Amino acid sequence: MRKFIKGLLAFLLLVGGLSPSFASAEERAFEGETVRVGVVGPEYEELWEFVAEKAMNEEGITLEVVLLTDYNTPNEALRDGSVDMNAFQHDVFLDNWNEENDGDLVSLAYTYAVPTRIYSQEYASLEELPEGAKIAVNSAPTSLSYNLQTLEQAGLLTLADNGELLPTPSDVEENPKNLELIELDGAQIPAAVPDVDAAFIDNSFLGGTDFVPADAIYVYGDTPETINIDRVNNIAVRAEDAENPLLLKIVELFQQADVAEKITEVTNGGSIPAWELVEEAKNL
């Protein structure tokens, strides 16, 4: 009997000693795996390097962050396999790219939102804008459409209800203040600020001005009630990877409180973590 008890105790100690390593192996199921993510902009490179550090420390995953220099390259890089996911666009941009390029990329998860902001050197609110005020808008089709929709939400314009996904200035039906819309490339808008009464400035170009996000005279898209889910940035993948457990693990690592804080930090408040906002908006 004494030998039996000793043997039983030895067995239990052995099992107890091995259990943590078994659990560790289960928890780090993707140890040694590598994922490449394409991003645009140095601030988002910094954000994803933070996620990469988490991926290695917590899961043993090597997350390679690939900095791309324009908005045309990331989806091509994803389609041809140069990267496994990208994180730079919203659903409208992705849908348009798929349609124009016969693509089948899909949105895997939401990351952050960049609320639309209007800035002015002269006026503290949209209500102060004078008759015939000049407003600089981004000429890129998706940005232009959202700038127009934002002005409509602010009560400055009325757009024709023609069912078009991307409204243009020709769709302006009512313009009570006779606002003059100055269409410019997004990168050119900061230099034009002294010559207009107000301007839509993308956060990525704000560094070319004296403004910070908190200086905006109008903000739209930063609450569950106003956020436009179609324009929340996403993580995109190839269609065959829509349920890839390794890539879903990267999503899990991203959608956490420490990453939310890092988003605010690296963008100076210009971008906001959006995955919880999206869920709240869907439940309204």
Tell me, what's the pLDDT at 162?
74
Q: Please count the residues of the chain.
A: 284
Token pair recorded at residue 57? 């420390």
Q: Which of the two residues, 134 and 268, has the higher pLDDT score? A: 134
Instruction: Give me the sheet containing 116-119, strands edge to edge.
Output: 180-184, 134-138, 198-200, 116-119, 218-220
* pLDDT tens readout for residues 174-208: 999 999 999 999 999 999 999 999 999 998 788 88
> In 3-state terms, what secondary structure has residue 184?
strand
Tell me, what's the pLDDT at 161?
86
Mean pLDDT, the chain, whole residue set:
90
Q: Please provide the distance, in angstroms rounded to a whole number, between the alpha carbons at the two ends of the chain.
A: 67
Quick one: average pLDDT of 124-137? 97
Location of structure tokens 């127009």? 148
* pLDDT tens readout for residues 62-86: 999 999 988 889 999 999 999 999 9
Q: Which of the two residues, 142 and 263, has the higher pLDDT score? A: 263
Quick one: average pLDDT of 32-40? 97
In percent, how much of the chain has pLDDT > 90? 78
Location of structure tokens 């988490």? 54
Q: Which of the two residues, 274 and 143, has the higher pLDDT score? A: 274
10 pLDDT band, cuts 50/70/90, is very low
15 pLDDT band, cuts 50/70/90, is very low
Tell me, what's the pLDDT at 50?
98
Sort strands 234-238 and 134-138 into parallel, antiparallel or unpaired. Answer: unpaired
Other CB atoms within 10 Å distance of the CB of residue 10: 10
Domains of the chain (ranges; CATH) run 31-114+229-282 (3.40.190.10), 116-220 (3.40.190.10)
* Residue 241, pLDDT above cutoff 60: yes
- What φ, ψ does residue 198 adopt, rounded to 5°? -155, 160
26 pLDDT band, cuts 50/70/90, is low
CB 201 within 8 A of CB 211: yes
Determine the Cα–Cα distance for residues 188 and 60; give it in Å rounded to an integer: 43
Quick one: average pLDDT of 155-184? 92
Tell me, what's the pLDDT at 3?
46
24 pLDDT band, cuts 50/70/90, is low
Quick one: average pLDDT of 121-148? 95
With both helix axes pointing from N to C terminus, report the angle between 245-254 and 42-54 in degrees, rounded to the nearest 10. Answer: 110
Quick one: average pLDDT of 272-277? 96
Tell me, what's the pLDDT at 164?
60
128 pLDDT band, cuts 50/70/90, is very high
Token pair recorded at residue 166? 């991307």
* Residue 53, pLDDT above cutoff 60: yes
What global pTM score does this model have? Answer: 0.76
Q: Which residues pair with 199 in a beta bridge?
A: 119, 136
